[in-house]
Chains A and B, each alone.
Chain A
Amino acid sequence: MGQHRVIVVGAGPAGVRCAQMLVQRGMRAILVDENRRDGGQIFRRQPDSFGRSYGKLYGTEAPQARDMHDTFAKMRDSIDYLPETLVWNIAGKRLHLACEGRAFTRDFDALVLCTGATDRVMPVKGWERAGTYSIGAAQIALKAQACSIGASVVFLGSGPLLYLASSQYVEAGANVVAVLDTSAFSRRVRALPKLLARFDLVRKGAGLVSFLKRAGVKVETGVEPVEILGTDDAGVSGVRYRDAGGEVRELACEAVAIGQHLRPETQLADLAGCRFAFDTATRQWLPECDELGRSSVKDVYLAGDGVRVLGADCAEVAGQLAAAAVLGDLGYPIDAQGLGLLKQKRTRFERFASGIAEAFPWPAEQITRVSDDTVVCRCEEIRAGELRRVVRDEGAREINRAKAFSRVGMGRCQGRYCAHAAAEVIAGCANVPVEQVGRQRSQAPVKPLGIATRQEDA
């Protein structure tokens, strides 16, 4: 069998397990990652100069983290590892990469995109000021830098990460003022049958809530954010919200961590030409793939949270399924029984994930109600009122059109932190289903690329 060129993008759980399986079959895969070290987000490593134990860093996930890092270390010499390297574009079977100001290309026979996810956020009036971070950011500050994002923190949003990150903060000695969940508690109850597909996680989640309460943290559900209070100079000073009973309350704090679960990083899949479909359960567009991870584009495979958020455990499985697909499609024999077991696991994870989506829904309705003076696009500082104006007065009812007219999504982050919310605001204003508003088209570069970047000589 000739040497096939397989490139895996992303060194998180999906990418590492995918590469591991390819290496086991004698392939020398290329593993590209933007970060300095392996692990992705969930198993993000602390700098060399830090000394905290795995237990301290990863809590109950410590054994898994250790296993992932060891797996990577063992295969390090069997792969072409390209850290601190951005895949900024793709054309046909050629990846365009950049590292430290050098641009170079790598052609592939098979490409596995394991690009992971970011927080999915809803805009809140005042969130543009210093002191508001994503919940993921709060976690990274702690895990990778041993910091709290502020002297007193309110966690505001929904999803498992809301409870996990805030608990980690309490455990590390940070001052957590409150955990405010936009999802009504009743939703969790109704979603329980699906959530029980991962009984271990349900129990863990309940444990986190009791831990928070025992620590004296105010934990509320069914809230609606009203405003993140503060000043332009000093930043955040508090949070105003409507509680489950409809009363408006205020809490003083110096930092706010917001987030509504996660959203996949799909830019490369989009640039590769993959077909997307609207996912009604989570109200977002996701790249299509089959049960092994084959996308609609031949030789492009998708795995992990970068295609659909199903969690780190599932990402590990998905990485293996994608590797199996790559191997099978390149003519290698595959272990059908092993594959069957992986698929079963994946089904269980999918069921759990659909329970999560029901228990902690993306607060579409709340988003359509944000005040006109709420900033929707942080990068360009465009408010909901301006977005609604282009819908009403200039007929822009499709997201790319609204972007052209209002500048929402035109900034440095290219829509990562505004496009989903913008779609809801547009849908609400135009009175159409959010699916009809469409999805923001990805354009290269995947992340900002310096004009100083020089092409490497061939």
Chain B
Amino acid sequence: MKPRFVRLAETGRKSVRICVDGVEFDALEGDTVSVAILGNRSHLRTTEFGPERRAGFCMMGACQDCWVWTVDGSRLRACTTTVIAGMNISTKQPEVQWANIA
């Protein structure tokens, strides 16, 4: 899958290994989660109400279009969260069992 964002500068930063949809790759220290993911692939998430994929919109924590799921079931807003090594993100909605604690 083609990355969406293009890194124009500042590429000499330390690597930060993360996992998205089961695929591991390196982001760079200081990337937001949005940039970390979109520097590797074309979208952040699937949509609740339509067939299209989304990749954020405002990049400043206002539009709320970039909330993603982590594999352990928590939510984070990708454009205002700095990437941390070991992050494990799913771009798909979790199964309906998300609410089950059994």
Find out whether A and B make contact in their complex, taking CB atoms under 8 A apart as touching.
yes
On whether A172 and B8 interact (CB within 8 A), knowing A133-B57, A137-B59, A145-B32, the answer reads: yes
On whether A34 and B29 interact (CB within 8 A), knowing A130-B53, A147-B8, A235-B43, the answer reads: no
CB nearest neighbor in B for A153:
B6
Please, how many angstroms separate the alpha-carbon atoms of A265 and B47 in the complex? 26
Contact of A49 among B30, B61, B62, B65 (CB under 8 A): B30
* Minimum CB–CB distance for A43 against chain B, Å: 13
* Minimum CB–CB distance for B54 against chain A, Å: 6
Residues of B within 8 A of A137 (CB): 56-60
Please, how many angstroms separate the alpha-carbon atoms of A48 and B10 in the complex? 11
* Minimum CB–CB distance for A113 against chain B, Å: 16
Residues of A within 8 A of B58 (CB): 118-119, 133-134, 136-137, 417
Q: Which of B6, B7, B30, B48 has the most CB of A within 10 A?
A: B6
For residue B93, CB closer than 8 A to chain A, the reply is: no
Interface residues in A36-91 (C-beta closer than 8 Å to B): 36, 41, 46-52
B7/A146 in contact, CB under 8 A: yes
Contact of A52 among B10, B31, B53 (CB under 8 A): B10
A142/B52 in contact, CB under 8 A: no
For residue A274, CB closer than 8 A to chain B, the reply is: no
For residue A8, CB closer than 8 A to chain B, the reply is: no
| B24-57 interface bits toward A, Cβ cutoff 8 Å, 1 = contact, 0 = none | 0000111110010011001110011111111111
Residues of A within 8 A of B9 (CB): 52, 146, 172-173
Interface residues in A254-309 (C-beta closer than 8 Å to B): 254-255, 265
Of the listed stretches A200-208, A312-320, A338-346, A374-382, name the one at the interface; the rest are far from the partner chain: A374-382
B61/A235 in contact, CB under 8 A: no
B52/A128 in contact, CB under 8 A: yes
Residues of A within 8 A of B53 (CB): 129-130, 232-233, 235
* Minimum CB–CB distance for B59 against chain A, Å: 4
| B1-20 interface bits toward A, Cβ cutoff 8 Å, 1 = contact, 0 = none | 00011111111111000000
CB nearest neighbor in B for A172:
B8
For residue A150, CB closer than 8 A to chain B, the reply is: yes
For residue B63, CB closer than 8 A to chain A, the reply is: yes
Residues of A within 8 A of B5 (CB): 141, 145, 147-150
Please, how many angstroms separate the alpha-carbon atoms of A232 and B47 in the complex? 10
CB nearest neighbor in B for A128:
B52
B57/A174 in contact, CB under 8 A: no
On whether A129 and B52 interact (CB within 8 A), knowing A141-B35, A145-B35, A150-B5, the answer reads: yes
Residues of B within 8 A of A48 (CB): 30
Per DSSP, chain A at the interface is loop
Residues of A within 8 A of B11 (CB): 146
Please, how many angstroms separate the alpha-carbon atoms of A141 and B61 in the complex? 13
Residues of A within 8 A of B59 (CB): 133-134, 136-138, 140-141
A413/B4 in contact, CB under 8 A: no
CB nearest neighbor in B for A84:
B80
CB nearest neighbor in B for A377:
B49
Residues of B within 8 A of A361 (CB): none
Contact of A131 among B4, B14, B47 (CB under 8 A): B4
Residues of B within 8 A of A145 (CB): 5, 10, 30-32, 35
B64/A412 in contact, CB under 8 A: yes
CB nearest neighbor in A for B65:
A378
CB nearest neighbor in B for A173:
B8
* Minimum CB–CB distance for B81 against chain A, Å: 10
For residue A182, CB closer than 8 A to chain B, the reply is: no
A50/B42 in contact, CB under 8 A: no
For residue B69, CB closer than 8 A to chain A, the reply is: no
B65/A51 in contact, CB under 8 A: no
Contact of A147 among B14, B35, B43, B67 (CB under 8 A): B35
Residues of A within 8 A of B48 (CB): 381
Contact of A118 among B54, B55, B60 (CB under 8 A): B60
* Minimum CB–CB distance for B15 against chain A, Å: 11
Residues of B within 8 A of A130 (CB): 4, 42-44, 52-55
Residues of B within 8 A of A235 (CB): 4, 42-43, 52-53, 55
Please, how many angstroms separate the alpha-carbon atoms of A145 and B6 in the complex? 10
Residues of B within 8 A of A134 (CB): 57-59, 63
Residues of A within 8 A of B6 (CB): 147-148, 150-151, 174
Interface residues in A93-118 (C-beta closer than 8 Å to B): 118
A255/B4 in contact, CB under 8 A: yes
B10/A51 in contact, CB under 8 A: yes
B62/A413 in contact, CB under 8 A: yes
A47/B82 in contact, CB under 8 A: yes
Given contacts A137-B58, A147-B39, A235-B55, 5 further A-B contacts (CB under 8 A): A50-B10, A234-B42, A255-B4, A412-B63, A417-B62
5 nearest CB pairs, A to B: A47-B30, A412-B64, A137-B59, A130-B55, A381-B49
- A-B residue pairs in contact (CB < 8 Å), sample of 15: A46-B30, A137-B56, A145-B10, A145-B35, A147-B8, A147-B39, A150-B5, A235-B43, A235-B52, A235-B55, A254-B4, A412-B67, A416-B63, A417-B57, A417-B58
